Structure 1
Amino acid sequence: MAQSLTDEEMLILKTGAFGAVFLVSNADPGVLAMFRESFAASGAIADASGLVKAALSSGPLPRLPRDSQSQVESVVLPALRQAITILTEKAPEDVAIYRSVVLAAADRTARAHNGISTAEAQVIERIAAALGDPAA
């Protein structure tokens, strides 16, 4: 049975998930693309269930660095790894849900505007690796 998450743990899950979307969106930036990508990602996040949905849909939004892609990655990729560790310990049945939601959001973000670019595909690979995705 899943244990409840602290506010800090929920923020880590959100930082990883929303940060992954931000990384993909910034990999191939554009103003029109940003709107399409945000809408596409929100659909994937809305599809979450259980503890993952509760964590991603409540509380404040995470604060991410905005200076460079590498700075964002230095926050987001560790948050994704921490999120998997937290869920493995407290709600192992939700690990696959979290991975699936984050990867779906990243994929939908990349596909939302002119398909997946090389830069977006590379970011998605790093996200999948941070999540410990066996397909990565």
Structure 2
Amino acid sequence: MSVILNDQDKTTLRTAAYGAVSLLAAAAGADSPHKIATKGSIALNSATGLVGHVLAEKSSVGDLNGKSTAELADQVLPALTEAMELLKKQAPEEAANFRSTVLVALETGAEARKGGPGPALTEMIRKITEALDAA
């Protein structure tokens, strides 16, 4: 069975995935945020399956304009839960793929920080994982 996602569905998935990487970079503060964002985004681009195709499209990722980490989290965490709900409903076989893709991107990004992830990044990864698992 071929799954067809509409443009809004695709934007939700991209916003959630790239938003998670952006949120992790924001949590890093002044400590290597660009490296975290770059490494995490590269990891997202290595996704396969339907998720990989959607993330590889050069389209919008929604409006990620938080002035603080808290404002960004207010956008991204619900988007992660919504993305998982959407996939569980429309493409259940892809839900686990999306979850693992996002978590690998976060781990890859966190490893880019000199000295390892540290407590702030570890806590943000926990919050993102909770949002993924809330669906």
What TM-score does the superposition give when structure 2 sets the normalisation length? 0.90
1:48-87 equivalent positions in 2, closer than 5 A: 48-58=47-57, 59-87=59-87
Q: How many residues are treated as equivalent by the alignment?
A: 132
SS of the aligned residue for 1:63 comes to coil
Q: CA RMSD in A?
A: 1.6
CA contact (8 A) 1:21 1:106 kept: yes
Looking at structure 2, the residues matched to 50 and 116 of structure 1 have their Cα atoms a distance apart, in angstroms, of 28
* Amino acid aligned to 1:25: A
Q: Which runs of 4+ in 1 moved over 6 A?
A: none
Looking at structure 2, the residues matched to 2 and 101 of structure 1 have their Cα atoms a distance apart, in angstroms, of 21
1:1-136 equivalent positions in 2, closer than 5 A: 1-30=1-30, 33-58=32-57, 59-114=59-114, 115-132=116-133
Looking at structure 2, the residues matched to 28 and 39 of structure 1 have their Cα atoms a distance apart, in angstroms, of 13
Distance 1:35 1:70, change over 3 A: closer
Unaligned runs of 5+ in 1: none
* Amino acid aligned to 2:86: I
* Amino acid aligned to 1:57: A
SS of the aligned residue for 2:133 comes to coil
Looking at structure 2, the residues matched to 34 and 70 of structure 1 have their Cα atoms a distance apart, in angstroms, of 16
CA contact (8 A) 1:41 1:106 kept: yes
Task: Give the drift of 1:62.
Answer: 2.7
Unaligned runs of 5+ in 2: none
What TM-score does the superposition give when structure 1 sets the normalisation length? 0.89
